[in-house]
Amino acid sequence: MAKLDDLLSDLANFDAQHDLQGLRKTRETIVSEHPDSEAAVEALYKIGLDHLFRERDLVAAVARFEEAAKRKHPFWSAAARTSLGLCYFHQGRGQKALLELRKVAYPETPTSHSVTALGFIENIAEQSGQSDEAKRARKDRIKQLEVLIDSARSRGQAQERGFYLYTLALALRDQGGDEASAKMLLAEAKDLGPELLGADLFRAVASALG
Which amino acid belongs to residue 71? Answer: R
pTM for the model = 0.89
Quick one: pLDDT at residue 176?
A: 78
**Dihedral of CA 79/82/85/90: which sign?**
negative
For position 145, what pLDDT does the model report? 97
Domain-located, residue 100: no
Pick from 59, 94, 129: which residue ends a domain? 94
d(CA 61, CA 96): 16
Q: Are residues 138 and 200 in the same domain?
A: yes
CB 208 within 8 A of CB 170: yes
DSSP assignment of 111-167, as one string?
Answer: -HHHHHHHHHHHHHHHHTT-HHHHHHHHHHHHHHHHHHHHHHHHHT-HHHHHHHHHH
| Structural domain includes residue 101 | no
Q: Give per-residue burial for 97-117: e unless 16+ CB within 10 Å, then b.
A: bbebbebbbeeeebbbbbbbb
Q: Which of 33, 60, 94 is the last residue of a domain?
A: 94
Task: State which residues form the domain around 202.
Answer: 106-210
Dist. CA 146–CA 207, nearest whole Å:
22
- Residue 67, pLDDT > 80, answer yes
Percent of the chain with pLDDT over 70: 100
CA distance 207 to 209: 5
**Where does a domain end: 94, 126, 152?**
94
Asked if 189 and 165 touch (Cβ cutoff 8 Å), the reply is yes
CATH of the domain at 32: 1.25.40.10
The string of pLDDT tens digits covering residues 81-137 is: 999 999 999 999 988 999 999 999 999 999 999 999 999 999 999 888 888 999 999
